[in-house]
């Protein structure tokens, strides 16, 4: 029996009824480079070509900018499969992507010390 909001693709007893590799037609490499934190957003244009139900779900989720990792979490799909689906949507004109923007230097000593202090307080 499907749970509310999951549609026909999930079943309480059996789990996902369609295996993730079939969602991406067995493809494992996206045609567009996508980072975990890359932002994806719907363009508003109607994508050309075939869209499966997961493509439509991803497009609906991306009405506002979302990072790739968050889209994967909402779709309950592995990251590799999600990247292939999102790349399909970029290639078909349905999505646009923007690389992550970091406002800080990841090797900034003060930042690293603050993170270390926070971790020590948690332990």
pLDDT for 6: 47
Confidence of residue 4 (pLDDT cuts 50, 70, 90): very low
Question: Can you tell me the distance from the alpha carbon of 99 to that of 78, in angstroms, rounded to the nearest whole number?
Answer: 20
Looking at per-residue pLDDT, the higher value among 119 and 50 belongs to 119
For CA atoms 4, 65, 98, 93, the dihedral sign is positive
- Residue identified by tokens 């004109």 is 93
- pLDDT tens column, 45-96: 988 877 888 889 999 999 999 999 999 999 988 888 899 999 999 999 999 9
Question: Can you tell me the distance from the alpha carbon of 90 to that of 92, in angstroms, rounded to the nearest whole number?
Answer: 5
């Amino acid at each position: 029996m499907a749970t509310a909001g999951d549609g026909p693709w999930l079943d309480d007893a059996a789990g996902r009824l369609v295996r993730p590799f079939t969602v991406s037609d067995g493809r494992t490499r996206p045609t567009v480079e996508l980072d975990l934190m890359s932002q994806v957003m719907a363009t508003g244009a109607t994508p050309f070509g075939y869209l499966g139900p997961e493509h439509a779900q991803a497009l609906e989720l991306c009405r506002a900018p979302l990072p790739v990792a968050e889209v994967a979490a909402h779709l309950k799909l592995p990251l590799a499969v999600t990247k292939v689906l999102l790349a399909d949507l970029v290639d078909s004109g349905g999505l646009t992507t923007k690389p992550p923007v970091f406002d800080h230097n990841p090797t900034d000593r003060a930042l690293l010390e603050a993170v270390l202090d926070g971790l020590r307080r948690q332990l």
